Structures are given as structure tokens and as C-alpha cells.
Structure 1
């Protein structure tokens, strides 16, 4: 279990997803302003009654922005104003049928607007419930960052390419085990719901095996077996098989870190104003161990106190500028050395989006920083 966890401030989902209705004072002021405008135009044009046709659509606009009570008020006000104007200010000898039709149309549109507002708010509440459920699932699937253990502080940025999804094909996790803090970052082949299913399989296996297996090689074998099992289920349902590139790192009280690279992007080490890439053997992705000519091996590299590891997926490294140039991670990372480790993932991600120019993401993005905790 994580020893101490720093949580992000909670943000109410309705402030993010629901349409924020105007205040009652703003509603009254807006209605009076529109009514005054219609009245003024009517006086200037000499056809006041017929300009009321503009006013009767006011409840329809309110139904898309206001609460049900506010829409009822606007519909009632509009009906009252139109009726009084038709009865009191209509020119003598006018056609009463046209005036009655205008009043009836006002009442009908008001009633329809109130009903539409009620339906809109119902849909919004249902969407908020779904989003709340999805957010709760995400918190259990992908732990909120930052995460603090006795060995490291892990922070990061995670953004699926499809913004309406909370989980994509990129994965990460942190487990504080009896053998040190174990960090996983990975990337499932492909996109879509099938990729998400493989991501769930790997994360679940990591959380269980990281506490059970004393060695990284045994842990990786367990992760590979989980992908193989997932692929067997996928084959039965007609889905494509997937493999998963992954980097599994273990940090303990020693001066070095252990790592197994399963076909993933190697980490960058930031220390003493320099950025280096540890020399690592690259094995096969998870799910393809049977094709490997060599068994899984563990690499070691220096990870001194106060240094930071930067872990990424190819959503960052394969970001391209308009001319097709890939995002130069090492070069840009050198320019971000004055940024704190907790802010570095966001700074890199925003810099990559600026580098791409079009503002569009073409793949899931995960960027983690693993900061070695100083020890007394």
C-alpha cells in the first residue's frame, strides 16, 4: 500500500460538465432588457404588436441555459407581456384572430420551452452521474497523482487522446512493496476499448504481483502471463490480440534502481543539471515472451538522492511538428531543468503541444517523474 498520498484538490464534476445557469438577478435583468429592446423597436417602427414575435422565442433560448424555475418565470412573463400588449395596445379594428393566434403561440412555446428545459436538465444530471461513476472507476484503475512513498515522489500527466474517455491505452501504477517502490509505465498496442481492456489486465496483475513476487523478473513474468490470458479471451470474442510495451522500475534504500525494459521507451535521468539515458537492454513487449530468444533480465543504474527519472510513452516522443520533425525530448528537457519535478510533466506536455502547433493529440500521453527521496 502507498504509505502517504498527496491528493489533488477535489473538483465537483458539475462545475466541469454541467451548464452553469445564470443567477436570478441576471435572469430578471436579461428579461427586462430584451423586453425593453422589443418595446423600443416597436415604438420606433410603429408596429409594436408584430414585433412581439421576437419576444415569444425568449423562453426557447432560456430553456437551453436556465433552470426550470427560471424558464417558467420567463415563459410566464412573456405570456403576460404579450397578452397585455395585444389587448391594450393593439390598434382598433385590427384582426382579432391574428392577435389571439399570437397569444396562443406564446403560451404554446412557453410550455414547450419549460418541458425542453426539464428534459435538458434531466439529461445533464444523468450525464453527471455517469461521469461521476467513470471518475470513481478511474481513481481505482489509475491512482491520482502525485503519490509519495518512503523511496520516491511520483507525479505526472495522463491524457487519453479521446477526451471523452478517462482511461486510454497508456497505463501507469505505483506500488510500495516489501522490496521497495515499484513503478510501472506502459503502452498498449492500438487504441479503442480493446486496448483499454488489455490495460486493465496489466494494471490488475501488477498490483497483485508487485506485492507477491520478490524479484522483478518474476513480476514481469506475471504481467506477461496476464496479457497472454487477456489475448486468449479476446480471441474467443473475435477481438485482436494486443501486446504491451512496459517499463518496470524498483527503487529501494540502495543507491541504484532496478529496471526491466519490455520494449518501452527508456527513462531519462535528470541529475546535477544533466540529462542522461541509462544503458538498458530492451526485451520484448508483454504478451510476446514466448518469442524472446533470451530470458528476462534486470538492469541496474545509478539513481542518487535528489535525482529525477522521467518516464514517458510514445504519445510524447512521437509528437510531430508541422514539418514532420519529432519532438526532441532530451533537448527540450534540458530547457526545463529549472522546473520542479512536480511541475515538470505538465511543462513537458504543454511544450510538446506547442511544438506540434495544431493543438491536436494523435495518441494517448503519459509522462511521469520519479523523484528520489533524500535519506538521512
Structure 2
């Protein structure tokens, strides 16, 4: 199973570090060493100060250390030291002491450049190791798309905003149960390992309760208990308590679908008759905050026609901003996707979202595209 598939496949985030520059090639290193040396020599001839400009070569190894290998930086350091020494020794203007001081300075500075290159490479290897471990954790937490049950085919994407953190606070799951298909999408408050821990708790609780509990309210009660237990453990460990916004759906062969919205982004229906939100009531409180609500969570029903498409997402989509601060108009965009196949819709939304944010999303993004399987009997 690969963790570097494109949007609409298993993962939206690539296995390579996005934005990381490729390593330097040897010919580039040698070209710049020779080119800069010749350039300084030519400028020195015209200014009649060729020996005074030689020490400026000392910056080359520092520049190469930012992208090159330790060997490339060491070669550049040796080249620069020899060029500086040769230029300064070929003049009677400087004393031996001054020449020696300049060469010693070059040796020290170049040595620091080599050490910097070695440190950078160790850091990159550590990041790669952590990314690999996080990718394995993600494969355990979140299953790759498409997801299928007896009633549904679900495409989607998951796009973490952090390049080096492949699992954020957004989670999703689709489970086939004796009571129909149960769909879950949630956004855990916060980032980092504590958020991942909370996500694992609530996701595990859903996978168990979705199969065991006959009613959708019982499933959500189990999720509430899981968040409370996690918060209790977090408080003992000195960590912050967290809440979770979530949307839970119960979908069977009938056109009517059950939904409990715990403070989450409402689902959108894409259909030939109309596009737009399907839930009319006010959302319930997020998971972990039920004690603060004056009323219990209740089920809302809506129609999911056989030829319709349901779009579920986290607020990383709806609250994405363009450079001027305008939110992404997801509901307005749906009219342009009538002819897009459900399997291609996640990639279309992802590309449109990147255009809107100028390639700099501000939060994790999770998106589910639900279609009924042919022959399930929904009208």
C-alpha cells in the first residue's frame, strides 16, 4: 500500500517532502566554484585589487552546505582555501602574518561549513525517519480510498497541512454494520501527537460502536464517552482537554438517511434537481461537550437519492482563505461539478482549493464523496 497517491486515491500528501530542493549535482558545484573564482579574478584585474577580492571566495562553501553533500562542501572548502592562499602568497603587499591569519580564518569558516552540511544531512535523515513512522501510523489510522460497503462507494482525500506531519486532527471512516452503512468524519481540536491520540481514541470507538450499536444516538454516545475518557487521561498527564467536531450518518437501502451533526460542517447534496445543504436543524455540541448542552443530541433525517452525491468535508475546506482573506465558497462551487465523476471529484476540489489559497492551505483537509452502489434500492 503506497502512501503517496494523488488526491482521490489513498492519500493526498506525497511520500516525498514537498518543497524540498533536490540535491546538488557535482557539475553544478564545480561550475560555481570555477565561475565565481574567475569572476572575482576578472573584477580584481579591472580594479587592480585581485588579491583583496580573493577572501570573498570563503562564502562559497557556506552556500553549498545549504544544499550539497558533506563531500561537495569539503571539496569546495579545499578549493577556496587553496585559491585564497595562492592569491595572497602571490603578492608582496601583505605580511606573512596577515596571509596566515586570512588562511586560518578561511580554514575555520570552511570547517564550520562542512559541519553545517553534516548537521543538515543528519536532520534531513531524522525528518525522513519520522515521516516514515508517521506514514505507517496514518495507514493504521485511516484506510485508503475508495471505501466500500453494501450500500456505498466512497472516494475522498486527506491532505495534512504540515509537510512533516502526515497525520493531523482530521479523521474519517465508513463501516458496514447490521444496521446499514455508518459514515464518520471528524476534526479533533489541535495538532500534533496529542491530537493524534484523541483522533485514535474517537476513531477506534466509532469502529466498535458502529457495528455493535443498533441506533445512531447510541453510536454518538459511545463517541462522547471515548472523548471524555481520553480527556480524563490527558488531564492526569498534564495535557489539555480536547473536543471533537463530528458528523455521523446512518445509510441503508431506503432513500432516507439519518444524521447527527456534532458541531461539524454540514453535508452537501449534489443532484440534478438541486445542490446544497441537506440538514436544516442546528448542529449539536461537539463531542466532549455534551454536559454543557441543555438538550440531548437528536437524529435528523434527509433524502439521499440513488443518483445523488453527498459531499462531506472538514473546516479545512470551508474555512480555507484566499490571500485577501475570503473563505472558500464550497457551496457556490458545486454547480461547476455537475459533470465531474464522483471518483474525480476529490481531485477537482483539491485543485480548486489550491488555486483559491494560492497553494498555501491553512489547515488539514479531509473530504468524502459518497455515492450509492448500483442496485441498492434507494429511490
TM-score by length of 1: 0.81
SS of aligned partner of 1:172:
strand
Partner Cα separation in structure 2 for residue 228 and residue 184 of structure 1: 18
Partner Cα separation in structure 2 for residue 196 and residue 128 of structure 1: 19
Task: Give the structure 1 partner of residue 221 of structure 2.
Answer: 221
Task: Give the structure 1 partner of residue 268 of structure 2.
Answer: 268
Task: Give the structure 2 partner of residue 334 of structure 1.
Answer: 335
SS of aligned partner of 2:260:
strand
Instruction: Give the count of matched residue pairs.
Output: 368
Q: Are positions 1:7 and 2:10 aligned together? A: yes
Partner Cα separation in structure 1 for residue 103 and residue 138 of structure 2: 52
Partner Cα separation in structure 2 for residue 117 and residue 240 of structure 1: 38
Q: Are positions 1:54 and 2:79 aligned together? A: no
Structure 2 unaligned residues grouped into runs of 5+: 1-7
Residues 170 and 314, structure 2, Cα contact 8 Å, conserved in 1: yes
Q: Are positions 1:99 and 2:99 aligned together? A: yes
Residues 333 and 348, structure 1, Cα contact 8 Å, conserved in 2: no
Alpha-carbon displacement from aligned partner over 1:184-237 (angstroms, at most 9, x marks no partner) = 012345667655543332112112222333443332222122122223323444
Partner Cα separation in structure 2 for residue 173 and residue 345 of structure 1: 16
Structure 1 unaligned residues grouped into runs of 5+: none
Q: CA deviation at 1:74?
A: 1.2
Residues 306 and 374, structure 1, Cα contact 8 Å, conserved in 2: no
Q: Which moved more, 1:26-35 or 1:267-276?
A: 267-276
Residues 155 and 346, structure 2, Cα contact 8 Å, conserved in 1: yes
Residues 153 and 371, structure 2, Cα contact 8 Å, conserved in 1: yes
Q: CA deviation at 1:370?
A: 1.4
Distance 1:360 1:218, change over 3 A: closer
Alpha-carbon displacement from aligned partner over 1:82-116 (angstroms, at most 9, x marks no partner) = 333344xx234652322233333333333222222
**Out of 42, 45, 59, which is 1:43 matched to?**
45
Task: Give the structure 1 partner of residue 109 of structure 2.
Answer: 109
Partner Cα separation in structure 1 for residue 140 and residue 297 of structure 2: 29
SS of aligned partner of 1:232:
helix
How do 1:131-150 residues align onto structure 2 when only pairs under 5 Å count? 131-150=131-150
Partner Cα separation in structure 1 for residue 324 and residue 10 of structure 2: 40
Residues 18 and 124, structure 1, Cα contact 8 Å, conserved in 2: no
TM-score by length of 2: 0.80
Q: CA deviation at 1:23?
A: 0.8
Partner Cα separation in structure 2 for residue 127 and residue 232 of structure 1: 32
Task: Give the structure 2 partner of residue 309 of structure 1.
Answer: 310
